[in-house]
A and B are shown apart, each in its own frame.
Chain A
Amino acid sequence: MAQNHAVEFKGISKSFGHKIANEKVDLYLDRGVIMSLLGENGSGKTTLMNMLAGIYFPDEGEILIDGKPVVIRSPKDAFDNGIGMIHQHFKLVDVFTAAENIVLGLKEDGKLDRRKVSARVSEIAAKYGFEIDPDKKIYEMSVSEKQTVEIIKVLYRGADILILDEPTAVLTPQETAKLFRVLKAMREDGKSIILITHKLNEVMEISDVVAVLRKGQHVATVRTSETSEKELTEMMVGRTVTLDIDRPLPVDPKPRLTVAGLTVKDSEGVTKLDNVGMVAYGGEILGIAGIAGSGQKELLEAIAGLRHIQKGSIIYTPEHEAPAELVGKSPMEIKEAGVALAFVPEDRLGMGLVGGMGMTGNMLLRSWNKGRGIFVDTKAPEELAEKVLENLDVQTPSIDYPVRKLSGGNVQKVLVGREIASAPSVLMSAYAVRGLDINTSYTIYNLMTQQKMKGVAVIFVGEDLDVLLELCDRILVLCGGKVSGVVDARKATKEQIGLMMTSSDFIHSSPRPGETISQAEAMVAKSKEVRQND
């Protein structure tokens, strides 16, 4: 048994046109092991895994499962070999239930016995500690629930080699903790798991071994217990990098944006922001922390004029100009006034970018309405696209190449680059580093700091508390649409913020107080755990 690896890649190469995605990769994975696959954007991680999952076919080399060479020509072949992949973008039918999605495409004899399927799903769920309602429709599910369906789908098909592509990119810390518990249970059961990820702390926390890819080549596989985040980063990037964020003290901070009594309801009448008050100063980075869905998105959208505001005021004080009320202004007017929003949605392209257009067309999104006549001016956006391409080192064949075809990191650079280029005096960014690798993330952090030094009021909604504590000057904590406090980022601790994220008045108004408390505890516990690993 021991001599046969669960999966082995031998000399696998794959290229797309002129671009080499993988070059002579030799890699193996044993049973009952969690392996992290680490690499920068475009280092060929996803391509390599897609070859295992039957989506791409290797140009060269062979894949061995349990020591036997196999040919994987389709996802079906992959399933027949016990391989299942959970993609970053879920492949589920929205109007079907979880159970229906799970059996979709299976060729089982006889009639579809829903009760039997549900029972089997519940059995798998119980075995590994998933929480799932087999009869719930996909469109009613949160991202994390959809992911659970995807995982059970491959387990149901008998997969014992699971590939997860950036599974935590869209999860909250609590959901991540839950996922990791499940993954550990699967490991105990002898399953092999490959995690494609960018988050080093997660790599250290969950995996047994780490394989690092760089420019399509396999650099090394190391035991997690024998390496460090720093060493991994160096292997990934190929040179020494410093992971410290430079945080100069704010110079002469002046109130730029004063929000008072802001109340926002969504289309169903649910209160999303409840009497929120805050001040953002020019020359500082104000972080916004909170459990996912605590009103971060709504707050930024309300300021940008994209949300209907029930009550409250947003006073904007530009430099050398009189204060102005933003409530009641159109998104266009607010943008013109110098308040920029760079929001990276969960699917990266849904808002703020047009996938089918090139960089020029996307730069035009900010300026299309400029000028008097009926024609659009493409000259300025073209110059801007060139500038962003150069300044942020966007990897694209040309400025007219559709941004949809760029890798995630480059898409984000285009978005953030455009917002920064408009020389805003308030820059709001949400999830700006979502799914980005370390190097690119730091590029974005540095851009934020540069803007701050220019006197811009930067509002940074982030998911990673460590980053918020390192990058920001002050952190505003939201909880259930209310402000539970503002802390000095240089002095606050993760535990303190974690508790504020689930503050007491939230617990009163929450329908499920028990869950909230346990989430907070999980979060604090997790941050401690990470510390110990450091």
Chain B
Amino acid sequence: MTEKVPLIRLAKREDMARSRIWLIRLLAFVLALILGGLVFVIAGADPITAYSTMVAGSLGKVTGIRQVVKVAVPLLGTALALAPCFAMRYWNIGAEGQITMGAMMASFFALKMVNAMPSPVLLIVMGISAALMGALWAGIPAFFKAHWGTNETLFTLMMNYIAIGIVGWLQGGPWEGKPGSQIIPMFDEKAVLPSVFGVHIGWIIVLILTFLMYIYMTKTKHGYEIAVLGESENTARYAGMDVRRVMLRTACLSGGIAGLVGFMICSGADETLYQTVAGGVGFTAITVTWLAQLNPFAMIAISLLLAILSKGASTIQTTMGVPASISDIITGIILLCMLGCEFFINYKMIFRGHEEHPLAPTTAQNTEVPGVSPEAVKEVKA
């Protein structure tokens, strides 16, 4: 019967050594670079030069590093904002709007109240008001979900467009600088975040937030409530948790952090308010959160990686004339490989004729749930 045994079988595995897991991830990254190299070749560029230009452009000089950090800060901040929501299985894809509304609120104080208070107070007021506004913006869909079971995915998504629309109106109307310019004036320097090592102090804020979020998710009662609610609403109710409150509170926390990110972008990076203040960060951060598997510290590495890629992309565009969209393709390949390698961490492949002795220890484990995964053993090729 050996002839008819499937060529490749897949078996679920667990308990893989940590070092091996990281080896697989590293191999996936290398594979992604090789595949990306092929893309460069097709585009007519030398892959080695292209890669080294990307690295040199992003990490080679201090200014490059500063720009990388500047890109990474909002990504990391927003990924942190999304983590508790995703842990609760509450799909907040409205970070974009929450960032925008936070930035709008901060800008209100930066533009209209700049002479009312000294700079540190102004910045603190801007930060707090941005967080509150973001929380409110995230709280509206959460309130509807908690009370009437509306779909948070659609609701938060729609809220993005409203937020962007509001800022668009302000930009072309009430807050417009020179008439006809369609631009809001630059902030007074009192309303601009100070810099440390050449980058606005937002990077220190997000690093502190990373640590706090880790503690919040793993050690606190709130974090436990979120984890239980994410697994089963019934169980949460049974344990005496106030499901509506937890949902609302977590969504507001998430929106609050996103709003704070909005404040950091407009006050730290842009020094004014644009309609595109969020610029897709709210969506890219979803990828960061997933790739990091909700681990705040892993989010640091992933947001830095994405920032390096995006900075490198603009470098090769200017120095080598390779379109930046090529590096978007490469970013896509890297993400795909990183997500794909998780499959090899969770499953192992058994090739025909290379079966381990059935009674010898292997790395697979019984899942105990009958028939839960028909894919656990499936035919790849007869």
Contact = CB atoms under 8 A, between A and B. Distances in A.
Given A19-B366, A368-B224, A375-B220, A355 B231 contact: yes
Nearest to B372: A89
B26 interface: no
Interface string B209-248: 0000000000111111101100110110111100000000
Contacts of B6: 57, 73
Interface residues of B, number: 47
Q: Determine chain B's interface SS by DSSP, over half rule.
A: loop
A55 B363 CA distance: 19
Contacts of A318: none
A15 B365 CA distance: 8
A48 to B, nearest CB: 11
A62 B359 contact: no
A122 to B, nearest CB: 28
A331 B240 contact: yes
Interface string B326-364: 000000000000000000000000000001001101111
A89 B372 CA distance: 8
B228 A354 contact: yes
Contact of A57 (B9, B234, B361): B9
B370 interface: yes
10 contacts: A17-B363, A18-B362, A49-B370, A56-B376, A57-B377, A73-B378, A74-B378, A165-B370, A366-B239, A375-B221
Given A17-B361, A56-B377, A89-B369, 11 more contacts: A15-B358, A17-B365, A19-B366, A60-B358, A69-B1, A73-B377, A73-B378, A87-B370, A350-B232, A361-B227, A374-B220
A348 to B, nearest CB: 10
B5 interface: yes
A13 B362 CA distance: 14
A62 B1 contact: yes
B231 A350 contact: no
A13 B358 CA distance: 7
A354 B232 contact: yes
B361 A18 contact: yes
Interface residues of A, number: 64
A376 B235 contact: no
Contact of B368 (A330, A369, A405): A405
A368 B374 CA distance: 37
Contacts of B9: 57
Contacts of A352: 235, 238
Contacts, number: 145
Contacts of A375: 219-221
Interface of A: 13-21, 23, 42, 46-47, 49-50, 53-57, 59-60, 62, 69, 71, 73-75, 85, 87-89, 91, 165, 306, 330-332, 335, 341, 343, 345, 349-357, 361, 364-366, 368-369, 374-376, 404-407
A407 B355 CA distance: 27
A332 B241 CA distance: 8
Contact of A349 (B225, B232, B361, B376): B232
B371 interface: yes
A303 B193 CA distance: 56
Contact of A353 (B235, B362, B377): B235
B242 to A, nearest CB: 9
Nearest to A15: B358
Nearest to A63: B1
B213 to A, nearest CB: 14
Nearest to A76: B379
Q: Identify the 10 closest CB pairs spanning chains A and B, nearest first.
A: A59-B358, A332-B240, A16-B366, A46-B370, A71-B4, A351-B234, A57-B377, A17-B365, A354-B231, A87-B371
Contacts of B153: none
Nearest to A341: B238
Nearest to B221: A376
Contact of A330 (B225, B240, B367, B379): B240
B250 to A, nearest CB: 14
B377 A17 contact: no
Contacts of A14: 358
Nearest to B2: A71
Nearest to B4: A71
